[in-house]
Structure 1
Amino acid sequence: MKIAKTIEEVREQIAEWKAEGLTIGLCPTMGFLHEGHASLMDASVKRCDKTVASVFVNPIQFGPTEDLADYPRDFKHDCDLLEKHGVDMVFHPDPSEMYFDDFCTYVDIDVLSKTLCGKTRPIHFRGVCTVITKLLHIVEPDCIFFGQKDAQQLAIIRRMVRDLNFRVEVIGCPIVREADGLAKSSRNTYLSPEARKAAVILSRAVRLGQDLVEKGEYRSSQLTDAMKKKLAEEPMADPEYVEVVNGENMQPVETFKKGDLVAMAVRIDGTRLIDNFTVGDPKITYTED
């Protein structure tokens, strides 16, 4: 597996592969990889001839009070996982490689970035769109892979790719969960043993929402009220939002249909976690306590 630190190294390798007529998959990550990230690599390896993974903690998507300095990093572990799952090249640039000192050009997206996580993280999706745009120009992949756990991000990237006419297929991959239902996340490492146990309340709330949908509930307020009541059973849980939005434009809906998104952000003992389900998807399963 090749490790590239510079844009030029990546472009040279990509040019060789394209000259051979090979297809390329890109899996953008911020590192500290887990089985959820591995599922993206597996999907890319299965679909494309060559797979590139980026490991880059993108500074411009973090707000001034967010956890940039403390965001978990373990590049050796990341490389071991990436090589195990068949990745051909990892792009691991320093911030100075991606952003000049006087960098001032950003890619922003309206409407879709104003709801859910965008309400409390106003610069986040501008940073995401900017770095993904740069990676798409650098790698020029045929396919790019994202996890459904960050459903708003996935919807935003799909819209950005459409609006800006990128020649790439955006592929979403299902949420990967622990046995007890908790969605895998790099931020799970912040949780104390007590908070980790409390965090399963998110997946319990997701399953409750899915059960209600299966029983015929279609009113957003009734669904979210029930899910909030479930979250309130856990003293450590502090919900930031529980909302139902249109699956394409991320705007709130009063009544929902197949393909719409039910999403939440909840702080567990201070650690911000997200989870969601798409109406019509299979119900999640988990082990009971």
Structure 2
Amino acid sequence: MKILVFGKTGQVATELQARAEVIALGRDRADLSDPAACARAIHAHAPEVVINAAAYTAVDKAETEEHRATIINGDAPGAMAQGCATRGIPFLHVSTDYVFDGTGTAPWRPSDPVAPLGAYGRSKLAGERAVTAAGGQWAILRTSWVFSAHGSNFVKTMLRLSETRDTLRVVDDQVGGPTPAGAIAEALLTMARAMVAGQGGGLYHFAGAPDTSWARFARETFAHAGRNVTVTGIPTEDYPTPADRPRNSRLDCRDMKTDFGISRPDWKPALAEIVKEVTA
């Protein structure tokens, strides 16, 4: 199966390359700020399936760069989806829990109303809508709290901070499912194979289990690293950021199990391995 991946150095793109022979396009070969170039890349490589694992992910910076974020997260995936529809091949796109407003405590279903709190969420929602509008065979995978030994993520930030601090204040009222990038890559590959074989796509949720808070996730990280760091849980209001974060990022992932046989991954074993790799 010839797989074209947009993204090369990001967390999910890195894990895709570790698990399958793919053609991975970095910014030098496919600039997402030029959506037409992304469509041309699909025609040039003639793949059997395309996975978009690239995105503008600077949540706070997007508040002042919404136009750029929307081109990369909205227009580019739309152009990719159109290119795939033209060729009659499946297109898989990674999205986010930030399309929801984070109210309540119930896990979000794919069919629930969307209401992004900020520019990043709006840009990702624009991408979802552009992909669905393109027609063809597509799948959108919303995920949350991605972590790995690569790139920038919460786990690596906590480990870096713990090198010089023995106490940290971490938000404790935002709850979601930490998701190993490797598990996302495996899920995308399973979906891609099924879709190439003729299975339909659609809108899906995929996040690690069990749901937890950032503060509890930090404590688990330090426990695996053997670092004596005291984590004090604080409310969101005590850690202001330019962009609002959803407090409820729980995702209902049952459709992934029903349609593709993919269960929510337990993030704790993955965290142990990733901490070991990062601190080696």
Report if TM-score (shorter chain) is over 0.5: no
Which entry has the higher C-alpha Rg, 1 or 2?
A: 1
Name which structure has the greater RCO, CA cutoff 8 Å, separation 6+.
2
Q: TM-score, normalised by structure 1?
A: 0.35
- TM-score w.r.t. length of structure 2: 0.36
